[in-house]
Amino acid sequence: LERSFTFPVKVLANMAQERVTVFPGVPTMFTLLTSLKALHTFDLSALRLITNTAAALPQTQMAQIRALFPQATLFSMYGLTECKRVTFLPPEQLDVRPNSVGHGMPNEEVWLVDDDGRRLPHGSTGELVIRGSHVMRGYWRKPEQTAQRLRPGPIPGELVLYSGDLFRTDAEGWLYFVARRDDIIKSRGEKVSPREVENVLHALDCVLEAAVIGVDDPLLGQAVKAFVVCKPGHVLSERDVIKHCLAHIENFMAPKFVEFVAALPRTDTGKIKKTGLR
C-alpha cells in the first residue's frame, strides 16, 4: 500500500480503508503509532496479526501495542537480512517471558557458540549461529565478507551463518537478545549490554526512544552514554535519567552521560544507526 512509513497518517488511512488484517512492523513504526494522538480515529478493527522484527521491542512498548490493538495477536520476532526471520515468540509466552525473542522456526537449527566456535549449553551467552535453507548463498562479489559470516557446518560442504549477534538462553532454551558483538560496552572491567540499559530507560514514562553506546574514557576504558528522545511535552534532566538507572541496574551499567536529542538516526530497515551517535 505504501513504500514507507514516512507519513503514518496516510498509511493508517489506507489500512482502515482496505481493512488490513496483518501489520508487519519494526520498532520505529510502533514508536510512531503509540505516540500518534489521532490513532483512535482510524478503524483498525480488522487487524488480527502484528509482527515485529529488525530490532527487539522494549517491554513497555510491547504492552502499549497490545493495549492499543487488543483484538490482534502479537508475534515478537528476530531476523536479519542474511536469512530473514530466525526466531519467534509464541503469543502465549508474551506474559511469561516478554523479553525473549522465542526459539527457532521450522526447517532451521539455531545454537550459541563461544569465541572458539564451540556449542554452548542452555543458560549460556554466545553468538547465534543459524542453519537452514533460508540462509543466504553469500554477499554479491564480496568473498571476504562472505567468509566471515558463512562458515563450515555440521555436514561436509555445508555452510552456516554466524549472525554477529550475542544472545543468551535460559534453562529451557528460550533466546534473549543481548547485543551486537560490536555494541558491547567494556566499562570498569565489566561487559555492559546496551539493550539492558535501554530497557530500563524505556521504563521511564517520559521517554519515547533511547539508545546506549560506549564512549572512550581515560579512567573507565569506556563510559556508558545514553541518547534519549522525550515524548512531546515532557522534559527530563540528566540527573533524572541517571537516578532512575541507578535504582534499577548495577552502578557500572548506569549512564555517565545523557544527551537529549530530537530523533535517533535510522537505517533503511528502521534500526537505530548507532554509528551515527557519538
pLDDT of residue 276: 81
CATH superfamily of 184-276: ANL, C-terminal domain (3.30.300.30)
The total number of residues written for the chain in this structure: 278
Q: List all residues 6 or more positions away from 120 whose beta carbon is below 8 Å from its beta carbon.
A: 111, 112, 113, 114, 126, 169
Which residue's C-alpha cell is 516478554? 98
pLDDT of residue 35: 84
pLDDT of residue 27: 83
What cell does 114 get?
563461544
Q: How far, rounded to the nearest angstrom, does the alpha carbon of residue 140 sit from its chain's CA centroid? A: 26
For the chain, the domains span 8-71, 103-179, 184-276
Q: Which pLDDT tens digit goes with each residue over 132-173? A: 999 999 999 999 999 999 999 999 999 999 999 999 999 999
Across 104-124, average pLDDT: 96
Q: How many CB atoms lie within 10 A of CB 173?
A: 14
% of the chain surpassing 90 pLDDT: 79
Per-residue pLDDT band at 2 (split at 50, 70, 90): low
Q: Which pLDDT tens digit goes with each residue over 9-64? A: 888 999 999 999 999 988 888 888 888 888 999 999 999 999 998 777 888 889 99
Q: Which pLDDT tens digit goes with each residue over 66-93? A: 999 999 999 999 999 899 899 999 999 9
The answer to whether the beta carbons of residues 161 and 129 sit under 8 Å apart is yes
Inform me whether the pLDDT recorded for 1 exceeds 60.
no
Inform me whether the pLDDT recorded for 198 exceeds 60.
yes
CA distance 124 to 127: 10
User: Under CATH, which number does the domain 8-71 receive?
Assistant: 3.40.50.980
% of the chain surpassing 70 pLDDT: 97
CA distance 136 to 139: 8
End-to-end CA distance of the chain: 36
Query: Mean pLDDT in the chain?
Result: 92
CATH superfamily of 103-179: Luciferase; Domain 3 (2.30.38.10)
